[in-house]
Chains A and B, each alone.
Chain A
Amino acid sequence: MADTISLQVIRYRPESETEPTTQEYTVPFRKEWVVLDALNYIKDQIDGTLSFRWSCRMGICGSCGMMVNGEPKLTCATFLADYAPNPVRVEPLTNFPIVRDLVIEMSDFMRKLPRVKPWIVRDQEKPLSEGEYRQTPEELDEYKQYSMCINCLLCYAACPVYGLDPHFMGPAAIALAQRYNLDTRDEGSKERMEELSQHEGIWGCTFVGECTAVCPKHVDPAGAIQRYKLSAAMDWFKSFLMPWGKK
């Protein structure tokens, strides 16, 4: 087995370039190395100017998402051995503007996320003296899967609908809205529905399903969106048939 592997890395230096270019680096090949290890080797040993985001190296911070050979991946969980001996192509996540090299601009998502109120909304907080909000394991299971989201944005990079229409709310934000809707302690589903029943909310989704396929945490945003559509449609019929019903 070869003891080196080649990495084709997208570079974009806005101060000197008008568009991204590809730079090839040769790094040692070790079977326990992930793509992020190779990038850190480049940064430390070969070219200190390469920019990329990373933090925890263990698939929980959600900051090292990049395109590896065209697929959105957490680079801390993508082994070089799966690609060797072929070169590995590393690009910034698609569907986002590039700030520099492998760093993407994610303000759009950061603005969208709070619009779906991804926190527990109560009409009235229970007084402290009444104790905590209790929940059974079955009730927890209803939303637990959706709560695993680490905001790594791989789903946005995989979503052609988001790529084509950046107004689309996108997979992670809708899955997180659903995570709170399905929480027995939450009372905010009506407020979230106002935001998400718009065309750019859930209705823009055409169920490509790639968000679910690329999710490193098995959140299944595509499923969350379809479930949301079903309940939104039922709400719509209810309010249409019974306009006198409570708002």
Chain B
Amino acid sequence: MNETPIYTEYHPRWYRRRVSTYWWLERSSYLLFILRELSSAFIAWFVVFTLLGIRAVKLGPDSYQAYLNWAASPFLIIVNLVTLFFVVLHAATWFNLAPKAMVVHWRGRKVPGEWIAYANYGAWAVASLVIALILLI
């Protein structure tokens, strides 16, 4: 509330509730929201993981091998599996919500939101395929 409330004889004491610190546990949709937002931390981790890889490549064959061994340690694999869950969650929620912000008109008509989401998923598939081909072949 912006201003101090003016109490009158009719409502002498409004009862104000406080938002719980754990409000995001109160509803499944809130929990999904906070998990979606937490994906940001895992995206930051992915960038650090990638930069360490680039650094290892730059330093020489031994460093690169050490990096690959490090990435193959059980702890790192678990960390990266969790990260994978979060980045996929980010991608899926992002593509699903994209039509909300982007309203596209084509020949004077609104393009249905699902089409925009499908276009996003299509682009995702193409980008993933291209990167996979470059790295695997």
Question: Do A and B touch directly, given a CB cutoff of 8 Å in the complex?
Answer: yes
A94 contact set on B, CB distance < 8 A: 17
Judging by beta carbons under 8 Å apart, are B11 and A70 in contact?
Answer: no
In angstroms, Cα B9 to Cα A100, docked, is 13
CB pair B37–A227 under 8 Å, yes or no, is no
Given A138-B108, A222-B100, are A163 and B23 also a contact pair (CB < 8 Å)? yes
Selected contact of B5 from candidates A97, A163, A226, CB within 8 Å: A97
Which of A73-81, A187-195, A201-209 lies at the interface? A201-209
CB-based contact B5/A111 at 8 Å: no
| C-alpha gap A208/B19 in the complex (Å) | 16
Q: How many A-B residue pairs have CB under 8 A?
A: 79
* Cβ distance B30 to chain A, nearest Cβ, rounded Å: 6
> Which chain A residues lie closer than 8 Å to B2 at the CB level?
108, 111, 166-167
Contact partners of B58 in chain A: CB under 8 A = none
Is the Cβ of A209 less than 8 Å from the Cβ of B15?
A: no
- In the complex, the answer to whether B11 meets A14 with C-beta atoms within 8 Å is yes
Assess the B23–A160 pair: CB atoms within 8 A.
yes
Looking at the assembled complex, report how far the CB atom of B102 sits from the nearest CB atom of chain A, in whole angstroms: 7
Q: Given the complex, which residues of A lie within 8 Å of B109, measured CB to CB?
A: 138
Q: B residues touching A (Cβ–Cβ < 8 Å)?
A: 1-2, 5, 11-17, 19, 23-24, 26-27, 29-30, 33, 37, 97, 100-103, 108-110
Which A positions have Cβ atoms within 8 angstroms of B? 12, 14-15, 18-20, 70, 94-95, 97-100, 105, 107-108, 111, 138, 141, 160, 163-164, 166-167, 206-210, 213, 220, 222-223, 226-227, 229-230
What would be 6 A-B contacts, judged by CB atoms less than 8 Å apart? A15-B12, A20-B15, A97-B14, A160-B30, A207-B97, A208-B33
- Closest 5 CB pairs between A and B? A226-B101, A97-B14, A223-B100, A98-B15, A163-B19
